[in-house]
Amino acid sequence: MNSSPPLSGAAVYADVIVARPARGLDRPFTYRVPPALQPHVVAGAVVEVPFRGGSLVGYVIDLHADAPSSLAEDAIRDVLQVRSPREFWGEDLLGAAGWMQYYYGCLMVEALNAIIPEPVRAGLWRKRPARGAPARTRVVALTDNGPDPEPLLRALDGDGPQARRVLDALRRHGHLPASELLNLAHARTETIHHLRDAGLVKYRMVAPDQLSAWHDPLKGTSALGSTERPDLTPAQREAVDRILALRAQGKAAAVLLHGVTGSGKTEVYLRVLEAVTEAGGTAVVLVPEISLTPQAVHRYRTRLGEKVAVLHSGLTDAERHEQWWSLRRGGMAVALGARSCVFAPFDRPSVLVVDEEHDSSYKQDSSPRYHARQVAIRRALQGNGVVVLGSATPSLESYHWAREGRYHLLELGERVEGRPLPEVEIVDLRRFGRGRPVALGAVLRERMREALAAGGQVMLLMNRRGFSSYLMCTDCGHMERCPRCDISLTVHAAPECLRCHYCLFEKGHMAVCPGCTGVSLQYFGSGTQRVEEELLGAFPGISLARMDADTTRRPGDHLRLLEKFGRGEIQVLLGTQMIAKGHDFPGVTLVGVVLADTALNLPDFRAAERTFSLLVQVSGRAGRGARPGRVVVQTYNPDNPAVLLAARQDYKAFFDLELGHRRELSYPPFVHLVNVVFASEDEAAAQAAAHSLAAGILPEARALGAGWLGPAPCAIPRLHRKYRWHLTFKANKVQEIVPLIRKFLAAGIPAGVAVTIDADPMSML
Ligand code: ADP
Ligand code: ZN
**Ligand 2 mean position, distance from CA 701 (Å):** 20
- Cβ–ligand 1 distance for 393 under 6 Å, the answer no
Q: Nearest bound ligand to CA 500? A: 2
Question: Is the per-residue pLDDT at 2 higher than 60?
Answer: no
pLDDT at residue number 225: 46
Which of 168-182, 282-296, 748-762 is least confident? 168-182
- Residue in 388, 215, 402 with CA at minimum distance from that of residue 287: 388
pLDDT at residue number 655: 97
Which of 87-101, 320-334, 466-480 is least confident? 466-480
**Ligand 2 mean position, distance from CA 377 (Å):** 33
Q: In ligand 1, which atom is closest to the CA atom of 233?
A: 23
- Cβ–ligand 1 distance for 390 under 6 Å, the answer no
- Cβ–ligand 1 distance for 293 under 6 Å, the answer no
Give the highest mean pLDDT range of 78-87, 470-479, 683-692: 683-692
pLDDT at residue number 4: 36
**Ligand 1 mean position, distance from CA 270 (Å):** 11
Tally DSSP H helices, then E strands, for the chain.
22, 30
pLDDT at residue number 750: 83
**Ligand 1 mean position, distance from CA 584 (Å):** 9
Question: Is the per-residue pLDDT at 97 higher than 50?
Answer: yes
**Ligand 2 mean position, distance from CA 339 (Å):** 32
Residues 6+ apart with CB under 8 A from 562: 293, 295, 547, 583
pLDDT at residue number 247: 96
Question: Is the per-residue pLDDT at 281 higher than 50?
Answer: yes
Q: Which residues pair with 353 in a beta bridge?
A: 285, 388
Ion ligand 2, residues whose Cβ is below 5 A away: 482, 484-485, 500, 502-503, 505
pLDDT tens column, 449-458 = 999 999 999 9
Residue type, 426: I
Which of 210-214, 415-419, 573-577 is least confident? 210-214
pLDDT tens column, 548-579 = 766 776 666 777 788 888 888 999 998 877 77
Model-level pTM?
0.81
- Cβ–ligand 1 distance for 355 under 6 Å, the answer no
Distance of CA 457 to the CA centre of its chain: 28
pLDDT at residue number 620: 81
DSSP 263: S
pLDDT at residue number 549: 67
pLDDT at residue number 438: 66
- Cβ–ligand 1 distance for 617 under 6 Å, the answer no
What span, in angstroms and rounded, lies between the C-alpha atoms of 723 and 733? 29
Residue type, 237: R
Name the closest-CA residue to atom 6, ligand 1.
Answer: 264
What span, in angstroms and rounded, lies between the C-alpha atoms of 596 and 594? 7
- Cβ–ligand 1 distance for 416 under 6 Å, the answer yes
SS3 636: coil
pLDDT tens column, 220-279 = 333 344 567 899 999 999 999 999 999 999 999 999 999 998 899 999 999 999 999 999
Q: Nearest bound ligand to CA 482? A: 2
Res. 433 pLDDT band, cuts 50 70 90: low
Residues 6+ apart with CB under 8 A from 295: 223, 224, 225, 562, 563, 566, 583, 584
pLDDT tens column, 352-384 = 999 999 998 999 988 899 999 999 999 999 899
Q: In ligand 1, which atom is closest to the CA atom of 261?
A: 4
pLDDT at residue number 125: 65
- Cβ–ligand 1 distance for 178 under 6 Å, the answer no
Q: In ligand 1, which atom is closest to the CA atom of 228?
A: 16
Write out the DSSP string of 704-752. Answer: TT-EEEEEEEEEEEEETTEEEEEEEEEES-HHHHHHHHHHHHHT---TT
Mean pLDDT along residues 12-38 = 90
- For the chain, give the mean pLDDT: 84
- Cβ–ligand 1 distance for 267 under 6 Å, the answer yes
Name the closest-CA residue to atom 10, ligand 1.
Answer: 262
Mean pLDDT along residues 173-178 = 76
Q: Nearest bound ligand to CA 484? A: 2
Count the Cβ atoms, other than its own, within 10 Å of residue 656. Answer: 12
pLDDT at residue number 662: 95
pLDDT tens column, 605-662 = 999 999 999 889 888 877 777 777 899 999 888 999 999 999 998 999 999 999 999 9
pLDDT at residue number 674: 95
**Ligand 1 mean position, distance from CA 231 (Å):** 10
Pocket test for ligand 1, best of 266, 393, 621 (most atoms within 8 A of CB): 266
Q: In ligand 1, which atom is closest to the CA atom of 263?
A: 3
Cis ω for the linkage preceding 234 (within 30 of 0):
no
**Ligand 1 mean position, distance from CA 585 (Å):** 12
- Cβ–ligand 1 distance for 262 under 6 Å, the answer yes
**Ligand 2 mean position, distance from CA 489 (Å):** 8
What span, in angstroms and rounded, lies between the C-alpha atoms of 449 and 453? 6
Res. 494 pLDDT band, cuts 50 70 90: low
Pocket test for ligand 1, best of 388, 584, 616 (most atoms within 8 A of CB): 584
What span, in angstroms and rounded, lies between the C-alpha atoms of 324 and 103? 26
Name the closest-CA residue to atom 5, ligand 1.
Answer: 264
What span, in angstroms and rounded, lies between the C-alpha atoms of 677 and 365? 13
pLDDT at residue number 290: 67
Q: Nearest bound ligand to CA 234? A: 1
- Cβ–ligand 1 distance for 265 under 6 Å, the answer yes
In this structure, are residues 274 and 304 in contact, taking their beta carbons and an 8 Å threshold? yes
Res. 464 pLDDT band, cuts 50 70 90: low
**Ligand 2 mean position, distance from CA 486 (Å):** 7
pLDDT at residue number 302: 86
Count the Cβ atoms, other than its own, within 10 Å of residue 405. Answer: 8
Higher-pLDDT residue of 70 and 674 is 674
- Cβ–ligand 1 distance for 151 under 6 Å, the answer no
pLDDT at residue number 264: 92
- Cβ–ligand 1 distance for 217 under 6 Å, the answer no
Phi/psi of residue 30, nearest 5 degrees = -95, 135
